[in-house]
Structure 1
Amino acid sequence: MKIGTTRLVFLLLVSCATIWFMTWHYRGTVIYDAKRPMYSHGYVQYSTVHKSVKQDIRCVGAGPDEAEDLFCMEKPQYLPNFKNPCWYAKEDGKFRLKCLPYYHLLGVCKSGTTDLSYRILAHEDVLGCNDCWKKKEIFYWCRRRYGYTVDMEGVRTPCNFSCFLQKFTTAAQKIEQEVTESGYHNMITGDASPSDFSDFRGWPKIPQNAGLQEPVVTTPHLIRHVYTDPKFILILRNPTDRLYSDYTMRHGQTPEDFHEAVRDDIRIEDACMRNHSVEQCLYSVELARKLRTRIFLGCYSVYMRQWLNVFPRDQFLILRTEDHDKDPTAQLKSVYNYLKLNYTEEWLASITRVPHQNASEKKKRMGPMLEKTRVLLDAFYSRYNHDLADMLQDKMFLWLS
């Protein structure tokens, strides 16, 4: 009896010590989702603070109706004598140069991305992509890898990672051919798909998200696995003005139609957020199809937090459309400096004199937004603007003037 008691005490002490060790050893390391089934595909290390975090995501392989599992792919070994992220891979018995974009112009749509992309591509050291939408957009990260069409209205064969790389085959050939006297390949290419910043609606097709109510893996995690040091350019516009421009481009008729659409969409979003998380509502394909506008794209802080939870702040050049309109020369100079592109003041002046690209004539015909609509939208976006300004430590993103 005495031996049994001693053994019981010993087992209790071992159990307590084990619990103590596990609690303190893993404290703050991995956050597990309690809703995730025990047979889940994997776990992700993440944080709710605005800083880059180390990834701990397992390769699980894609199941039926799931996108290619990029975590099963080893990160490419980038060549040190190339400015652009490139590497050699064996293909059809030969080694061929493969290249990813040096920069991503993330967004957002109707904020001047077409104009900015044009002025970046005008530089002699910057190359475009093959068969891109509007000569700049691929939609791989946000839609095509999930099998969605550009407008999210249909389904097509998913574009895998090899398919994405094919968009840069011509650029890769040019990058390989052009070399400085020191043996350095100085040319770069880029991807200007603004939807990549905010369109996470394909998240249920990411294998690591199987069985979840909201994602633990999104586009930033995928890009982080593939890249070593990506460069992101983000141009943001007052979300109220952005939405009106977006609506007129897509199917707008009159300011009165826009007001009715905004009023209905705010009701739908508010109703969703009373019962679900903000992420569940903003990342939902089904909910987006009920909306008459793309009001969800202006909730910038929700998407920005996802990116800053994976990448450090200094990997983003964050601009404002309003500043681009006021002083395009200064803004383009900051972009060229960020991309480490050489230029002369004469060249800079010449490219900024080119008329604005993709200006909307339809918006001019419709006339200005109704003041009552602006009041509605400003109130809806206010919390997100304040969150963004706090996140970026810049009151300019309040768009108060």
Structure 2
Amino acid sequence: MGAFGREAASTGELMTSSNTPSCSSGLCPKPQTHLLSGKCLLLVACVTLACVYGYASKLTEMIRVTAWSASKSTEPVTSGDQTTRGNGINVTKKLMTLEPVIFAEIPRQTLPNYKNPCWYEKVPETEVDSNPYKSHKTCHAHIKTMKSRKKMAKHFRDGLIHNDTGHFRLRCLPYFYIIGMPKCGTSDLYLRLTKHPDVVGGLKKEPHWWTRRCFSRQMAGDIPNVTVPVREYLDLFDGAASTIKSRIKKSLTSSGQEVVNHDVITGEASVSTLYDNRRWGREVWNVSSNEPAVLVANLFKAVQPHARFILTIRDPAERLYSEYLYFGNGKKSAATFHKNVITAIDGFNNCLKNNSVRSCTYEPNLTEMQSVRLRLGLYGVYLRDWFAIFPPGQILVQRMEDRSEDPRGTMTRVLDFLQLGPVESTSQKDAIFSLKKEHSRRPTDVWLGPMLPETRRILNEFYRPYNRQLAALLNDSRFLWQKDVSVEES
């Protein structure tokens, strides 16, 4: 192979079918008649001879690594200027200053033949035979995750691509994010999606990395400071990356040239993504107003401007009661829930005396019990901010009630939004489109029954103006929740 490459490079001869070695595997590219440089001839020679020995697939991937590594920009990803409200701060540049490691680890360009955002990262030679997951700060308590990491570590070197510049590993970010809300059927949606043949999940459904783990500063309130490096977040999708790389689809261009694409995607479903903004301190941005100057959505825009987001929500009063039953401690009862609701509404209304709705919605120090998070039902406040940062075409909003009543219709819209192909397998169709209950109340909570009628009346009155704003924002009267009855399952 070396002699053939050197001879071709030295003579600069035309590469035609007459001087191309035969390929019994049928994987060799169709030869074309044009003048090639010495480097191109060497690559063609490598591919040709690799076909003879049955290594075309891995060698082709190696060539892609070489070409991509040579062409990719070393500059961090940017998506144009973002400015904060009122003070004109360039958000993207400020984020790059505050969190430089994130922008250094995630490249500006991703592989063009991959639908999912993926790239190759060079592995130091001293780490080629090591366990990259050994020092992880997350997931050690999950037995299933620990077993998966152990298996991934065992085959780590086998998954590397090697060329004359070193070893490379495939890295991937999620293609889609289910961004909320808690107790709105996010687990059901995620499980249905991962049954599609072109969707593979990561090691954790809810890493909460973008909202709670990626920043080096203490969160507001009493949340402990647990910082997880971006490399560990990417590690959660190493198994998905392996699947994405191995599943290929071949097609022919109009000129008859074969094209290899990787159409499998991955995603995650951290329900805090839409609303949790507590790691952003206003003092960092020199903002005099009592409203957040920058959101987690701004970080997404700067790092991954083409990501797709899915939001599933439900009647906010029902969401609140479901969350109380799920997270509430001690002796839970409809009467205790009613008392807590009154306290939460009073606290929010007191905040409104001196602040805007947006300020009180995001205020991290506003007293609010964990089991009655009233503000999480103000969907329109959060969503308006996200629409100001991302175009509506990148955010799909659905009601949990609609998926419960018409799973086929709602899931079809989700698959179309993610540009996923049709499902052929009967078992996969049933898993994605069937009418089912993924979650129900705990047996110990069933006897509590629905919330008190007076509690429902108070909550409906509180949420009514915000539901109207949401329905107007989405131009959809279903988000008024005027005709929906109580949903017993959580």
**Contact 1:203/1:209, CA 8 A, preserved across alignment:** no
1:199 partner amino acid: D
User: Is 2:117 the counterpart of 1:61?
Assistant: no
1:379 is matched with which residue: 458, 461, 464?
Answer: 461
1:220 is paired with a residue whose SS is helix
**Contact 2:347/2:367, CA 8 A, preserved across alignment:** no
- The 2-side partners of 1:170 and 1:30 are apart by 37
**Contact 1:60/1:208, CA 8 A, preserved across alignment:** no
Give me the CA root mean square deviation: 2.9
**Contact 2:173/2:237, CA 8 A, preserved across alignment:** yes
- The 1-side partners of 2:283 and 2:429 are apart by 42
How has the CA–CA distance of structure 1 residues 70 and 221 changed in structure 2, closer, same or farther, with 3 Å as cutoff?
farther
The runs of at least 4 consecutive aligned structure 1 residues that moved more than 4 Å come to 29-32, 67-75, 147-150, 205-212, 288-292
2:412 is matched with which residue: 333, 338, 341?
Answer: 333
Match of 2:434 in 1: 353
1:261 is matched with which residue: 322, 340, 343?
Answer: 340
Which residues of 2 match residues 127-138 of structure 1 at below 5 A?
A: 127-130=200-203, 132=204, 136-138=205-207
1:82 is matched with which residue: 103, 114, 123?
Answer: 114
CA drift at 1:344: 3.4
Query: Aligned pairs, how many?
Result: 348
How has the CA–CA distance of structure 1 residues 288 and 147 changed in structure 2, closer, same or farther, with 3 Å as cutoff?
farther
1:50-75 CA-partner distances (Å, limit 9, x unpaired): xxxxx76445633xxxx667567775
- The 1-side partners of 2:211 and 2:404 are apart by 28
1:61 partner amino acid: T
CA drift at 1:388: 0.8
1:183 is paired with a residue whose SS is strand
Match of 1:344 in 2: 424
How has the CA–CA distance of structure 1 residues 190 and 59 changed in structure 2, closer, same or farther, with 3 Å as cutoff?
closer
CA drift at 1:161: 2.3
How has the CA–CA distance of structure 1 residues 147 and 376 changed in structure 2, closer, same or farther, with 3 Å as cutoff?
farther
1:196 is matched with which residue: 249, 273, 277?
Answer: 273
- The 2-side partners of 1:298 and 1:86 are apart by 35
Match of 2:349 in 1: 270
- The 2-side partners of 1:383 and 1:247 are apart by 23
User: Is 2:302 the counterpart of 1:219?
Assistant: no
State the TM-score, normalized to the length of structure 2.
Answer: 0.65
**Contact 1:106/1:192, CA 8 A, preserved across alignment:** yes
**Contact 2:113/2:261, CA 8 A, preserved across alignment:** yes
> Which of structures 1 and 2 has the bigger CA Rg?
2
1:390 is matched with which residue: 457, 465, 472?
Answer: 472
How has the CA–CA distance of structure 1 residues 180 and 209 changed in structure 2, closer, same or farther, with 3 Å as cutoff?
farther
- The 1-side partners of 2:93 and 2:474 are apart by 27
User: Is 2:86 the counterpart of 1:33?
Assistant: yes
How has the CA–CA distance of structure 1 residues 310 and 206 changed in structure 2, closer, same or farther, with 3 Å as cutoff?
farther
- The 1-side partners of 2:363 and 2:261 are apart by 45
1:215-250 CA-partner distances (Å, limit 9, x unpaired): 221111100111142111111101011000000101
User: Is 2:315 the counterpart of 1:241?
Assistant: no
- The 2-side partners of 1:367 and 1:277 are apart by 36
- The 2-side partners of 1:69 and 1:33 are apart by 28
Match of 2:124 in 1: 92
Query: Which ranges of structure 2 fall in alignment gaps of 5 or more residues?
Result: 1-81, 126-166, 251-258, 484-490
- The 2-side partners of 1:293 and 1:153 are apart by 17
1:283-325 CA-partner distances (Å, limit 9, x unpaired): 2332255565111100001100110000011111111111111
How has the CA–CA distance of structure 1 residues 148 and 290 changed in structure 2, closer, same or farther, with 3 Å as cutoff?
farther
How has the CA–CA distance of structure 1 residues 345 and 179 changed in structure 2, closer, same or farther, with 3 Å as cutoff?
closer
- The 1-side partners of 2:371 and 2:264 are apart by 42
Match of 1:51 in 2: none
- The 2-side partners of 1:149 and 1:192 are apart by 23
1:373-400 CA-partner distances (Å, limit 9, x unpaired): 0111111111211111111111111111
Query: Which ranges of structure 1 fall in alignment gaps of 5 or more residues?
Result: 1-28, 35-41, 45-54
- The 2-side partners of 1:344 and 1:272 are apart by 53
Match of 2:244 in 1: 175
Match of 1:10 in 2: none
Match of 1:43 in 2: 89
How has the CA–CA distance of structure 1 residues 310 and 32 changed in structure 2, closer, same or farther, with 3 Å as cutoff?
closer
CA drift at 1:124: 2.2
1:337-363 CA-partner distances (Å, limit 9, x unpaired): 222222138442454337422322354
User: Is 2:263 the counterpart of 1:186?
Assistant: yes
- The 2-side partners of 1:69 and 1:281 are apart by 32
Report 1 or 2 for greater relative contact order, CA contacts < 8 Å, sequence distance ≥ 6: 1
State the TM-score, normalized to the length of structure 1.
Answer: 0.79
1:224 partner amino acid: K
Match of 1:305 in 2: 384
How has the CA–CA distance of structure 1 residues 114 and 149 changed in structure 2, closer, same or farther, with 3 Å as cutoff?
farther
CA drift at 1:190: 0.1
